Amino acid sequence: MPKYLMQVTYSDDALADLVRHPEDRAAVISELVERLGGRVEAFHHSLGEYDLVIIAEFPDNETVAALQIAVRSTGVLKDQKITALLSREEAVNALKRAGSSGYQPPS
């Protein structure tokens, strides 16, 4: 299954709720991902621009979009960034295909 890097920033209200009522959201998020057919590989809280960093597998882009819509529609997120990840093998294959694509830059 394709892997995705998800970087999430809570809204101010959601963060305030978590401060008032601390809870580990990893289980809730992992359950949601699994319900949609995916699997969380890594879940980390982070410092800086994003509050959470998650690496997860999903069957396809449509499933990732469904997750994004479900969570964003609640208003708990201030920002999020989702990046499709390539395995090393996929990256090497992409490089090979690019090399044989025949692309010519503008002159």
| Tens-level pLDDT at each residue, the chain (107 residues) | 999 999 999 999 999 999 999 999 999 999 999 999 999 999 999 999 999 999 999 999 999 999 999 999 999 999 999 999 999 999 999 999 999 999 999 98
In a domain, 52, yes or no: yes
In a domain, 105, yes or no: no
In a domain, 104, yes or no: no
Give me the number of domains the chain comprises: 1
In a domain, 82, yes or no: yes
Q: For position 80, what pLDDT does the model report? A: 95
CATH code for position 67: 3.30.70.920
Q: Helix 26-35 and helix 61-72: axis angle, to 10°? A: 130
Q: For position 74, what pLDDT does the model report? A: 95
Summary count for the chain: helices (H), strands (E): 4, 4
In a domain, 107, yes or no: no
Q: For position 64, what pLDDT does the model report? A: 96
- Residue 48 domain boundaries: 3-99
Q: For position 101, what pLDDT does the model report? A: 92
Q: Measured between alpha carbons, how far is 91 from 97 in angstroms, rounded to an integer?
A: 10
Q: For position 85, what pLDDT does the model report? A: 98
In a domain, 44, yes or no: yes
Q: What burial class does residue 58 get, using C-beta atoms within 10 Å of its C-beta: 0-12 exposed, 13-18 middle, 19+ buried?
A: buried
In a domain, 21, yes or no: yes
